[in-house]
Amino acid sequence: MRLPIFLCGSMLMLAPACGASQAFAQSAGPIGPVAVDNVLDDSKASIEGLYRDLHQHPELGFAEVRTAKLLADRMRKLGFTVTENVGKTGVVAVYQNGAGPVALVRTEMDALPMEEKTGLPFASKAVVEKDGKSTLVAHSCGHDVHMAWWVATAQALVALKDKWRGTLLFVAQPSEETLSGAKTMLDDGLLKRFPRPDYAIAAHVGGGMPLGTVLVKDGVILSASDAVDITFKGRGAHGSAPSAAIDPIVMGANFVTDVQSVISRRKDAGAFGVITVGAFQSGTVGNIIPDTATLRLSLRSFTPEVRALLLDGVEKTAKGVAMIAGAPPPSIVRPYGTAETRNDSSLVARLTPPLKSVFGEGVVSMPASAPGFSGSEDFSMFAAAGIPSIYLMIGGDDPTVLNGYKEKGIAPPTNHSPNYAPSARQAIRNGAAALVTAILAQNGGN
C-alpha cells in the first residue's frame, strides 16, 4: 500500500508531530513504559535479526512460504498455538490468557515486484518468476517492519501477561498488495475456525512521517480500491486500410478521455474519487491495426456511494465507446476490490488517551470530518465482516533526515519507492509500543 507523504511543516502533518521524540515518551502510562522498555530491550537483537532476514528474503503475495515459516516458528517458541496455510500462505497464532476480549493483531507478509536501490548492506537481491518473467523483489512498502513489530508485540504481551486477560489472535496475512489476502483468509474460515475477535488492530509504517509520530484518525482513514480490466474487441486490418478495421486503440483512447467525465460531471465536486488508467496494452507493430486493446484501471473512493458511481460510470463509458465504434460489447472484469478502511469511533476514543500517555505530542489525532488518505488496504475486510477495527500509522523516518530533504526542496523516498529505507530499529520499537499500549488498554491494562 502506498501511503501519503508526511513532512514537518507541510499541510499534511499537524505541527506537534514535528517535535515528537524518536522514542516513546517516558511518562506514566497505563502499562508502565519502563516495563515495556525492558521487554523490548531484551528482544532487540532478536527482532533486528528477524527484520534483516525478512528484508533480504522478500516474497510476493501467496508465495510467502519461507516468510510464513519464520513467523510461525517464532510464535510457537513464544507459546502460541499456530496454524499455517490459512488462506494459502497465511499464519494464525492464538495465545489464551484467561477470560477477556479477543484481540486480532494483523501483519502483512508480501513484498513488491521491484528493484531495491537503497544501498543498504542487507538490501534485497531476490529474483523470482512472475507471469513467466523474472522480476526483482523488495520490501519497499515496509511489511518487513510490520512483521518485526508484530513479533515484538507478541513477545512483549507474553512477558506482560499478568497485566492483561483475554485471547490474542495474531494473523500474518498474505498478498495485501493485491488486496486479496484478507478475503482469502476469511474465505478459509478465519472467523469460524478460530476465536472470533472482539476487535482488530493493524498499523503501517509511514514514509515521510517523523519517528515518534502515531497517527490516529476517526472514521475513514484509507480509500476503497477497485481494479477494473477492460478489453475492447475490434477488427484487425492492415495499417493502410483503417476503414476495414474497427480500431480498438481508438476505442481505448476515447475511453481514457471520456471516462474522466465521470469524475468531472457525475461525481459531487466535493467528494473524493479517482479513476486512473495505469496500463494500455495493444498491438505489436506500427502497420497492423490490432483486434483487441486491454486497459487496466484503478478506482479510489471514500464512500460506498462514490464507489458505486465510479464502477457504474466506468462500465457505461466502456460500453458506450464500443457501441459508437460499432464494436461488440467490451469485456469488463474486476480482479479485486476492497472497501474503504474505517476506524471504529469507540476504539479511537478509548485508545487515543493511553497512546498519548506514552507518545505525548507525537500522537496526531484526526476527526472523522477530516478527509482520509488515498492509499488503500484490505484490512478493511475485517471491519466489513463486523469486527470493530482500528488502523494506526507509525512514523518511520528520522526527523533530521526529513528536514534535510525539506531544505533541499525535494520529497523524501516513501513507501513503494526503490529508495525507501525507514529508520527500522526505532520504527519497530515504536510500532510495538503502540500496539502493546492499545491491546493492554483494551484487555485490562489500565
The string of pLDDT tens digits covering residues 391-425 is: 999 999 999 999 999 999 999 999 999 999 999 99
- pLDDT at residue 7 above 80? no
- Provide the greatest CA pair distance for the chain: 80
- Enter the pTM of the model: 0.91
Number of neighbouring beta carbons within 10 Å of residue 238:
11
Please tell me the predicted confidence (pLDDT) of residue 413.
Answer: 96
Beta bridge partners of 104: 169, 200
> What is the β-pairing status of strands 219-233 and 337-338?
antiparallel
CA distances from 13 to 4, 351, 376 (A): 10, 20, 19
**SS3 state of residue 442:** helix
- pLDDT at residue 31 above 60? no
| CB contact at 8 A, 422 and 46 | no
How many angstroms separate the CA atoms of 245 and 238, rounded?
8
How many angstroms separate the CA atoms of 215 and 206, rounded?
9
**pLDDT over 70, % of the chain:** 91
| CB contact at 8 A, 111 and 83 | no
Closest by CA position to 171, among listed 224, 235, 104? 104
- pLDDT at residue 164 above 60? yes
Please tell me the predicted confidence (pLDDT) of residue 445.
Answer: 52
How many angstroms separate the CA atoms of 171 and 80, rounded?
12
How many angstroms separate the CA atoms of 48 and 144, rounded?
11
Number of neighbouring beta carbons within 10 Å of residue 347:
20
